[in-house]
Structure 1
Amino acid sequence: MKNSTLKLPAMIVLYLLISSISGQAQAHFLLNLNVRIFHIEHTASGANLYMRVPMPYLLADKTALGRDPYTGKLPQPAPYTKNSLNQGDLVHYVDFQQLELAPLGLGNIAESAIFLRNTDMQIKGDVKAVRLYRIGSEPDFATLEEAQQAFLKQYLPEDTNQRLYVGDTLVDIQIYYPLEAPLGEYQLSSSLNPGLPNQEDTANLVLDYNPGRTQVFRSRGLMQDPLLITHSSIDAVKTFLAEGIAHILKGLDHVLFVLCLSLGALSLPLLLWRATGFTIGHSITLSAGFFGFVPTVSWFVPMVETGIALSIIYMAWISLHREDTKITGSESTIFIGTCMLGLLHGLGFSFVLHEILQVDSPNIWQSLLAFNLGVEAGQVLIILAIWPLAYLARLWKKEWEIRIRYSVAGLCSAIAFIWTLDRGYELVSAIF
């Protein structure tokens, strides 16, 4: 019984170690995160939906994966695309000729899969316009005015003589929903399921422009479950609170840092004091990073990620020597240290948030504050889960608590050390 009790925490963290080795080491910058934006404009006779979506979300499930094993022929391409081989690999290009013949075709695919429901009644939409852009050349799309201006651009990219990968293409679509009465509360959902890697982390931003009130909602994933759009600021804030909580709970590096932070404090007041220092630090850089007050040089990204990995090792070291102030320093020194480490983690939070919002998005401070509070709530949840267990173990048998603490801190350090090597290599490569 004793051995199995002691092995359980080690087995859990060992699983995390294996997962971290097989996953992405750069947690914030290599997210494979796709963003879909929905602007809903209310009018006297209906509603306009302006959406921006990566082209693979519309077509990835409509083509075969490879060549016929018997004939060697390429599979039937998805609508409005062409298949080709590139060094033996199947690639998909935009078919401009098909699109010129059916300029609203991609919009019709989107309209059939985007569901707008008012009082449990699905509203049929009418596709008004479609625009295609090569990623990097797309116009801004953060506000309603920018979304409307995007449809004043030409239909297809200027360089139609050059091949355009489907994966490098953004599609803007305008759909009009006629209504007999003003649109009140409604549900927005999507049946698109392209089967893309990490599509469960898709960032959806819904901006609702009801006369006199603009609300910004956030949803993660494919939106197969309807998102309720109301006129309540509280409901809008809740979606960003949930995103902040999800970010810290799904970010293994943040979880390990708070885990070691919890194990490294002798009392709950000291733990809360240190957590406050961490909060102060990351709140500063979350805002600064989001608004672009950070360097843009190539080495900055891996430097921050390497620093986050090292912060876990430092906090694990603190937890191993928590009783010896000669080694760890005074509580004021540790507080300053957690503030500094919070600065690093705050940058990580801001990079994810910047994928979701733009600086000129409506209600930006409301959304930013809600996301930050969600991060804090996620941090508190980890502390509430870890601290009572550690405290009870110390009361029950101090030797057990010491063994558990050393096992957990050691394995957390091992994970962070692997990240440090991987991210450090990226840093050196970026510098030289």
Structure 2
Amino acid sequence: MLDAGKILVNTLMRSMRIPSVAALILVLALPAVAHDIPADVRVNAFVKPEGQRLRLLVRVPLKAMREVDFPRRGAGFLDLARADASLRNAATLWIADNVDLYEGDVRLAHPRVAEARVSLESDKSFASYEQALAHVTGPRLPDNMELYWEQGLLDVLFDYPIGSDRSDFSIRPRLERLGLRTTVVLRFLPDAGVVRAFDLHGDPGLVRLAPRWHQAAWRFVESGFFHILEGTDHLLFLLCLVIPFRKFGQLVLLVTAFTVAHSITLIASAYNLGPDALWFPPLIETLIAISILYMAIENVLGSNVGRRWLITFGFGLVHGFAFSFALRETLQFAGSHLLTSLLSFNLGVELGQLLVLVLLVPALEILFRFLVAERLGTVILSVLVGHTAWHWMTERADRLSKFPWPVLDASQLAVAVRWLMGVLILAGLAWFARGAFRQRARRRQHQSTLLPK
């Protein structure tokens, strides 16, 4: 009986070891599998409608297609003489099955693989559509070339049937599985001489290659709305801005000043009227941290709405540049509607800002009415925000210090002069508006003293 018990125990132990050993082997094997996934994969693609067909030219590194068994010979060289079937299989499995093309709102049928061939990594034919098409339809590499499969590129020409080359086309490239970080450099050629370039990362969703104005507008309204909600520094600036000024008239004045200011620099920067040097974005980030810190300090020391709206206008110019940095990658989706997209992005920012204020102002009222005295609460909140802004400022200033300061040449000096003139004009308008505001306030005060008590 005792021996039977020992046998049972040993059997159970062995049965438990088998899954454990298998799990250990699987865990040890995972790094090797992950190592086979390329870190960075660049895909080049052209989309061109021609008559009743749409042509998609794609170049992908062979090493990104890990589940395809390419024929080899000798010391692991790609057997080009027998590779055609596996190349077409890879083109279908990794590209055609993961690229959705639409004519209007209708998804196009599965394409025909017109050509598929291997190219060298040194080949530069995908610099233009004409060169790429001539290369893909031209002579192949010689069959006796000694080329390791990981060092080759797969060039594919797909043909899609379409109703008309004047239709609106969209694409959704789902190629993120090719590598840990996948970039698709896509060029759309709707007409002769017209090229619209896209730089897409991961899964960008549906991309309209030639959007209508309302499609571009909606995309940018959405982008601006979520940008302001996801920007912690912008939200903290708004918080510091309105902590001591929560009356409707004060909010209208401050928010209008901020909106007008950031709209000016946002649009100017989008039209390449701002500096494009590497040191400029970290400078703006540092100034944004300073703007939050200044507002927090002013809240602690005391402020008045007459001075606050002028300061808000100045800092709004800085925040507008930051908005433009976030907008740069998105502008590729504007098509031919640049100004519409800019105004729509700005509208989205204002809608997000309005939502924040609608939630923030009542929350502050409740806080100061039921939980803490207004003055004490203002100091506590401002100190907390200022502490965060101080750390941001020092970290960003440290990054900024690593950039070499530019030597002004004639073109940079001209840009600086233009911006200085613009700032002086804006300062003059602000001074005039401030004077008008003060005069109006004095008239109201004078009229109130004349009223019978």
Give the TM interval when normalised to the shorter protein: 0.5 to 0.7
Pick aligned residue for 1:397 from 341, 364, 370: 370
Secondary structure at 1:265 match in 2: coil
1:427 aligns with 2:413: no
Secondary structure at 1:177 match in 2: strand
User: What does residue range 123-162 of structure 1 map to in structure 2 within 5 Å?
Assistant: 123-126=109-112, 148=129, 151=132
- Partners of 2:113 and 2:159 within 8 A in 1: yes
Secondary structure at 1:116 match in 2: strand
**Structure 2 partner of 1:312:** 292
Q: Name which of structure 1's ranges 263-272 and 116-125 shifts more when overlaid on structure 2.
A: 116-125
Query: Counterparts of 1:353 and 1:411 in 2: how far apart (Å)?
Result: 30
Q: Deviations for 1:402-422, whole angstroms, at most 9, x for unmatched residues?
A: 555444333322222121111
Task: Label 1:236 to 1:191 Cα distance change in 2 as closer, same or farther (>3 A).
Answer: same
1:194 aligns with 2:167: no
Task: Label 1:318 to 1:207 Cα distance change in 2 as closer, same or farther (>3 A).
Answer: farther
- Partners of 1:306 and 1:424 within 8 A in 2: yes
Task: Label 1:209 to 1:403 Cα distance change in 2 as closer, same or farther (>3 A).
Answer: farther
Q: Deviations for 1:104-135, whole angstroms, at most 9, x for unmatched residues?
A: 8986533321112566655213466899999x
Which structure has the larger Rg over C-alpha atoms?
A: 2
Question: Over the residues paired in the alignment, what is the CA RMSD in angstroms?
Answer: 5.3
* Count of aligned positions: 341
Query: Counterparts of 2:266 and 2:42 in 1: how far apart (Å)?
Result: 20
**Structure 1 partner of 2:54:** 47
Residue 259 of structure 1, CA deviation: 2.3
**Structure 2 partner of 1:254:** 234
Residue 331 of structure 1, CA deviation: 2.7
Pick aligned residue for 1:410 from 376, 383, 386: 383
**Structure 1 partner of 2:408:** none
Normalising by structure 2, report the TM-score. 0.57
Residue 332 of structure 1, CA deviation: 3.4
Q: Deviations for 1:366-423, whole angstroms, at most 9, x for unmatched residues?
A: 22222222222222222122112212333x3372555554443333222221211111
**Structure 1 partner of 2:29:** none
**Structure 2 partner of 1:377:** 351
Task: Label 1:345 to 1:172 Cα distance change in 2 as closer, same or farther (>3 A).
Answer: farther
Q: Deviations for 1:77-102, whole angstroms, at most 9, x for unmatched residues?
A: 999xxxxxxxxxxxxxxxx9899987
**Structure 1 partner of 2:428:** none
Query: Counterparts of 2:69 and 2:377 in 1: how far apart (Å)?
Result: 54
Residue 285 of structure 1, CA deviation: 1.4
Pick aligned residue for 1:111 from 96, 121, 128: 96
Residue 273 of structure 1, CA deviation: 1.3
The structure, 1 or 2, with the larger RCO (C-alpha pairs under 8 Å, 6+ apart) is: 1
- Partners of 1:217 and 1:239 within 8 A in 2: no
- Partners of 2:168 and 2:210 within 8 A in 1: yes
Residue 178 of structure 1, CA deviation: 0.8
Return 5+ residue gaps in structure 1 as ranges. Answer: 1-33, 64-75, 80-95, 140-146, 156-164
Residue 215 of structure 1, CA deviation: 11
Task: Label 1:188 to 1:77 Cα distance change in 2 as closer, same or farther (>3 A).
Answer: closer
**Structure 1 partner of 2:141:** none
Q: Name which of structure 1's ranges 375-384 and 302-311 shifts more when overlaid on structure 2.
A: 375-384
Return 5+ residue gaps in structure 2 as ranges. Answer: 1-40, 71-76, 137-149, 406-453
Task: Label 1:288 to 1:233 Cα distance change in 2 as closer, same or farther (>3 A).
Answer: closer
1:272 maps to amino acid:
V
**Structure 1 partner of 2:308:** 334
Normalising by structure 1, report the TM-score. 0.59
Task: Label 1:313 to 1:36 Cα distance change in 2 as closer, same or farther (>3 A).
Answer: farther
- Partners of 1:47 and 1:179 within 8 A in 2: yes
Residue 221 of structure 1, CA deviation: 6.5
Pick aligned residue for 2:217 from 219, 234, 237: 237
- Partners of 1:35 and 1:355 within 8 A in 2: no
Pick aligned residue for 2:162 from 179, 201, 204: 179
1:399 maps to amino acid:
V
1:375 maps to amino acid:
V
Secondary structure at 2:402 match in 1: helix
Secondary structure at 1:430 match in 2: coil
**Structure 1 partner of 2:271:** 291
More helix by share: 2
Query: Counterparts of 1:220 and 1:317 in 2: how far apart (Å)?
Result: 41
Query: Counterparts of 2:323 and 2:161 in 1: how far apart (Å)?
Result: 40
Residue 49 of structure 1, CA deviation: 5.0
Q: Deviations for 1:247-270, whole angstroms, at most 9, x for unmatched residues?
A: 222222122212222324231321
